[in-house]
Structures are given as C-alpha cells and as structure tokens.
Amino acid sequence: MLSDFGVATETIDRVPEGHAVVKVDTLSIDAWIRTTLSDGGLHETGDLGSTIRAFGVGRVVESNDASLNEGDWVYGLLSAQTHALMPAKALTKVSPQPGIAPSAFVGPLGITTGITAWVGLIAVGNVQAGEVVLVSGAAGAVGSCVVQLAKARGARVIGIAGGPEKCAYLVNEIGADAAIDYKTGDVGGQIRALAPDGIDVFFDNVGGEILDAALDNLRETGGSRVVICGASYQYQNFEDVRGPKLHLRLAERNAAMLGFVVSHHAARFGEAMAEISALILESRMHLREHVVAPIDRFPDALLMLFDGSHIGNLVVRP
C-alpha cells in the first residue's frame, strides 16, 4: 500500500574518503525490488525505515576517490533517492555516446534488464536460428529485450502480454512474429495455433498458469528448454507460491527447465554488452521507456510494475 512508504529529507555534510556523491538520473523499477519488501525472497529483506534499493545511473557531482571525477557517469545500487553517497568501489563507470543514452544503462544495457535477457536467452537458453521462442511478460523490460535478441539471432518469436495495446507493441514496435493476449483466455490453445510443432525455448518472466500452458506445448521431439527468469505472478503473495502442475511434460518430451541468477554469469557481461550495443547502434534494439517522476512517486511506480499498466522499461526520474 502507498501508505507503507514515506519520503525523508537528509543532508550530505561531507564525503568520506573513498566515496562519491552521485546525482541520480534514472532508476530502474524491477520485479526483484518487491522481493526485498517481504521475507522469503531471493534477495535480502530491507530493514523498516531504510531506503528502498534500486539500480540506477547517475552523474558524479562530488568525489573523494581518485578513480572517479566530477561529471563521470556511473551505474550502481543508487536506490530510491535524488542523490546517493556511495563507496567508489560500488560504482561502475559507464560511457554514454551518440546513439546510446545514459538511461540505456538501466535499459537494454542494464544488468537487471537487457543483460538479464541476454544471459537467460543466450548463455542459459542457447537459442539457435530457426527455433521457436515463446516469451511471457514480453511487453516488459526484460521480455522486450528477449524478443529483440531472439529475432536478431534468427528465431521465430511469439510474445505473451496482456491487452491489445501491448500485443500491438510486440508485433509492430519490437518485431515479434506473433503475440498472444493472455486476457482473452485459453493461452495454451493460442500457443498451439501459432506453434503447432511446439516451442523450442520458453523464456518465463511470469510463472503460474502461463508456465503450465507453455510446458504443455513444448516440442514433442525433445530438446526444448524452459528458462526461468522470474515469476512476477507470485511476487505479491509469497505465502501462496505454487509450482507448475504439468512439470512431467519435461520428462515426457525430453526437455529441460533451467533457472539462473544473472550475477553468476558476470564473466560474459562484456560479450552481452558488445552485442546489445551493436544492436542499438544498428537500430535493431529499442526499449520504450515509461517514465514516472519525481522521486516521491517511486512507490507508485513500484506498484505499477504489477498492475500491468506500463509497457517497456518502467523507470523513475528523480
């Protein structure tokens, strides 16, 4: 509830050695943030009264560390605030350039967005040209990137989203071959109609009944992969998390279900950023931004992530 959040004003009196002050430019609103507000999630639960964690990009306005200069663009866990006092070692320099805006580093080039999409689809899912890829939550930040990366790799891509506007975005704006509106019902039947020979890769951001529908439509000849990125369907109710009912389809169809944490693949981040940067500069990667401002609307943005009212990358500009 919005009443559970508040805004506090604090001053930064001095910058300790080894630290820098960053003026926050853009914060990424990601599903993992919700897991820090409850017990039982993958991420550490935040303390009551603490600043809500969020990754962001910003510019150094004061530095007491030789590795950072005033004006440097940096990425890190800047959290829900207008200015962040951070250890320099917790910040990563980024290099905006013509064609790549600073906000791209919490979008297509962000660890929780585009890099997550790349790791899940390519490093974990091993997508191949000619395969059929199904993506749930396809109109969100990660899903949008998965759709475009899969297309760039030569796959046929079907996105699942809620409502005609999102389905139009998938097909007309980011190049999906087809879109399924889960709000119209019978998701499994819609998958079968669009992929009668079955799915090779299912990239799951949602979980729940949509996961079961995908499991029921895996290619029967074997070799399909289900990549578990997240389960936004479950994040609002950790006390009633439900697993798939049709998990035996994995055995019946000689398929695999693979989960991943993006940070475990840090050795390949450079490879991911190089490929995504090239796609951006070639106008083959585009991620629409849904901007919420100012900082005191951060809680509104967080709740918006789960009500289906945004398309693309949901961000806050302080």
Q: Residue 248: pLDDT above 60?
A: yes
Q: Could you tell me the pLDDT band of residue 40, with boundaries at 50, 70 and 90?
A: low
pLDDT at 191: 98
Please give the model's pTM, rounded to 2 decimal places: 0.92
128 and 243 part of one domain: yes
* CATH code, 198: 3.40.50.720
**Beta strands 256-259; 201-204: pairing state:** unpaired
236 lies in the same domain as 119: yes
> Mean pLDDT over residues 105-116, rounded?
97
CB 17 within 8 A of CB 318: no
Is 272 domain-assigned? no
First to last CA, the chain: 21
Sheet holding 201-204, edge to edge: 178-181, 156-161, 132-135, 201-204, 225-228, 256-259
How large a percentage of the chain has pLDDT more than 70?
92
Q: Are residues 192 and 63 in the same domain?
A: no
Among 110, 136, 88, smallest CA distance to 315 is for 110
For residue 128, give its domain range. Answer: 114-263
Q: Are residues 240 and 142 in the same domain?
A: yes
Rounded Cα gap, residues 227 and 250, in angstroms: 12
Residue 100 pLDDT greater than 90, yes or no? yes
CA distance 62 to 76: 16
> What's the pLDDT score for residue 6?
87
Question: Are 131 and 215 found together in one domain?
Answer: yes
Tell whether the model's pLDDT for residue 122 goes beyond 80: yes
In the predicted model, is pLDDT for residue 233 greater than 70?
A: no
Name the phi and psi angles at 252, rounded to 5: -60, -30
**What is the torsion angle, in degrees rounded to the nearest 10, for the CA atoms of residue 264, residue 86, residue 112 and residue 272?**
-60
- The structural domain count of the chain equals 2
Same domain, residue pair 160 and 297: no
Task: Report the C-alpha dihedral over residues 31, 92, 23, 60, rounded to 10 degrees.
Answer: 180
**CATH number of the CATH domain containing 43:** 3.90.180.10
Residues 193 and 69 in one domain: no
Residue 75 shares a structural domain with residue 172 = no
Same domain, 136 and 154: yes
User: How high is the pLDDT of residue 87?
Assistant: 98
